[in-house]
Amino acid sequence: MESTGRANAGGYTAPDYLSTHPVTATRISEARDRALKIKQTGEGWQAKSTGNNNPLLPSFAQPNVQKLGQLNDGKEFAWAKERLRVLSASSPSAAVSEYKRGIDGFERRLSDPQLYGMAYAYIANQQGNEAESLLTDLAKRHPQHLWISLARAEAAKAAKKPALAESRFEQILKDFPNNRAALLTYSQFLLEQDDRRLAQRAQNLLRTLDDPFGEDIVFQRSIARAYELSGNTLRAAEAFAQIAYLNGRVDDAINQLNALLKHDDLDYYQRARVEARIAELRPISLELARQGIKPEQQGS
């Protein structure tokens, strides 16, 4: 498997763990460890496959896991694979070209997940109308599918129809309340409008996911921008410090938080939160210093 691996074939640079058959040394080692554990505990394939679930597949690929609207039959990975194909292409236009000539160079009818991928490539290439025609048919065959619904909203955005995009996003929130992907995608759309009122709406949506020091950098960037646009500069500063930390710049994050403590308008709770976060980061900073890693060498 290792000798025939194709994780980076065809000009794609996707991380190994997102490829169809990851075969790096790390994953091979993990597979060996799992096999040894099964052998040691006496748990054979049948013992682990109750309900047709495969113990070596991630949860999103399990047949009985309820995910992504009505597509809960273990085939979600096919859709994720096509999204990854677009995201890892050298350019959106290159992804469109690949779908047009046939995936992997074969002339054949595209599957529904591949049609979704082609639509997503059109969206990335700012060809919203082309994406819309594909997604309309897909939505008929797969109603209440989260990814298709999100793509239709993004297609409207790419087609320069913000009102339509907003109405579709609002419908998604009704169909998939509190869904993290829906909230993040909609919030990013609202923030792109560069409007204080819409930024406040994005802030309210994101606060339902609020984790001030969470490790989701997409969330942190979105909430930082939402706070910034809506005028909440203090909370924006906290989020920007967390972004610095997530990028590996620990001392930069500490410096930003220390600067925030100098603001007289910090309330008691925010000051306590910032001080607690600095206390959490200092041991990491000291360990980096012990290893000889200077602040200017940290992160990217």
- Residue partners of 79: CB distance under 8 A and separation at least 6: 68, 71, 113, 116, 147
Which mean pLDDT values do the consecutive 10-residue runs of the chain (300 residues) have? 42 49 52 60 42 42 43 70 93 93 68 94 96 96 94 96 96 93 95 93 90 83 94 93 94 96 92 95 95 88
Output the pTM of the full model.
0.69
| CATH 1.25.40.10 domain locations along the chain | 61-177
**Would you list the DSSP string of 71-132?**
--SS-HHHHHHHHHHHHTSSSHHHHHHHHHH-GGG---PPPHHHHHHHHHHHHHTT-HHHHH
**Would you list the DSSP string of 206-218?**
HHTT--TT-S-HH
**CATH code of the region 61-177:** 1.25.40.10
Torsion-angle region of 249 (φ positive above 0: left; ψ -120 to 50: alpha; else: beta): beta
User: What is the per-residue pLDDT for 76?
Assistant: 82
Distance of CA 59 to the CA centre of its chain: 16
